Structure 1
Amino acid sequence: MACNAVARTDVKQQLSLRPHAAPSGYGPSDLQSAYNLPQSGGSGQTVAIVDANDDPNAEQDLATYRSQYGLPECSTANGCFQKVDQNGGTNYPAADAGWAGEISLDVDMVSSACPQCHILLVEANSASMDDLGTAVNRAVAMGAKFVSNSYGGSEDSTDPTSDEQYFNHPGVAITVSSGDSGYGVEYPAASQYVTAVGGTSLQRDSSARGWSETVWGSSAGGEGAGSGCSQYDAKPSWQKDTGCAKRAVADVAS
């Protein structure tokens, strides 16, 4: 598996930023406006984030982000944030800068969309499906009803077995990014037990909503939200399309 994160290289950063300048891009108020999300959303709920390897600065980065945007504190001290290894302890795996970037992005975006949610970060020992799947099971065992997974890899014939071992959790919303390499299906987004989430490009406009969205993709660069027909995962009963004999990806995009 690999983390599904892409770094933009087409944005020129001014080197002469004035002190205390706000970051560019969309902050929590923007995303709450775009998707009509309540500022008090998530009270009493826990969102789990599953990634591989350790981000030793996860809590520090989370504090910086929330302070920047005036969100309430979410820390180990006040019980809002918790970081565990895939066994539920504190024997964290080896640090990895690539995965750490994904982890910080994930905790920030949960904060943005769900500012009152508690955040449970479960770090898998490695990027293998077995370790990441064990981390998913750990998150559910620790009470999370929402589990976010921002990674994926190629499909293979063992995926239906992984479905039953790691993702068959009735009553738990498990979301998985559909990939960032354009057309083509990744696992575990192809699991029949998860919500496969694609990406869009979001722009302010003069509509009643105030925002418009288009499918995220660039034929020139090869980037784009993953989509297509699974080779191995059965079509869930709630999918009625005729375009795919098996599971169709994605389910939603934002």
Structure 2
Amino acid sequence: MMAENYKIILENLSKSFGTKQVLKRINLNIPEQESLVVIGGSGSGKSVLIKTIMGLLEPDGGSLVKIDGQDVTHIPIIKRGELLNQFGMLFQGGALFDSLKIWENVSFTLLQGKNISRKEARRIAEEKLALVGLNQATLDLYPNELSGGMQKRAALARAIANNPSIIFFDEPTSGLDPITSQVIIELIANLSKELKATTITITHDMKCVKTIADKVAMIYKGEIIWQGEGKNIESSGNEYVDQFISGRTTGPITNNA
């Protein structure tokens, strides 16, 4: 596959906080409309990876981030808004605003960044909520009036409100029961295909990996130690990956902790 078919290209992506290096020379090429799932233990650098791609964190010198072939590594702040308009983000805890109604939460970015009326924003919110299985009755409710699973659905509706070409999912099944988790996983898989979006998901949930991953990359101590087809993860031949996906308490991850 030629480079121009890649939606996101990362070359030697590194990020340090003081003397602590969190990401170490990450290299990833993510084709358009591909679903990449990033796995790894807590503190391995997964969340920092997403924030650095989005430009919320400044990468170290020598790093390269390209989106649609454009170098956005050090894009000026005045142009950052244009870039962010391409992104959708499902935060780990949902991160809904308690003081806003559900429809206002879903359309928050539209109301802040686009010249549209509240009537149109509400219409879009209703449309996106329907896509995630929430009906009109939820529009004027507040987050605390919804169950955890419904809140996650509303947060997913917000992530797709502007029809993003790139969507980031941060531990999308965190805090959910097994059945609700599977519902959210299937929603993510279906919506990503419907929107023809390129997606990056960070997760510990192997059901999530098996359902939505075209490719998988594992981060260990800030480095990509394995990447390959999602269907091949159980035969990766990598002892770190094997321990992680099996959940064994003995192996190189715990031995080198």
TM above 0.5 = no
What is the TM-score with the length of structure 1 in the denominator?
0.36
Which structure dedicates a bigger proportion of its chain to helix?
2
What is the TM-score with the length of structure 2 in the denominator?
0.36
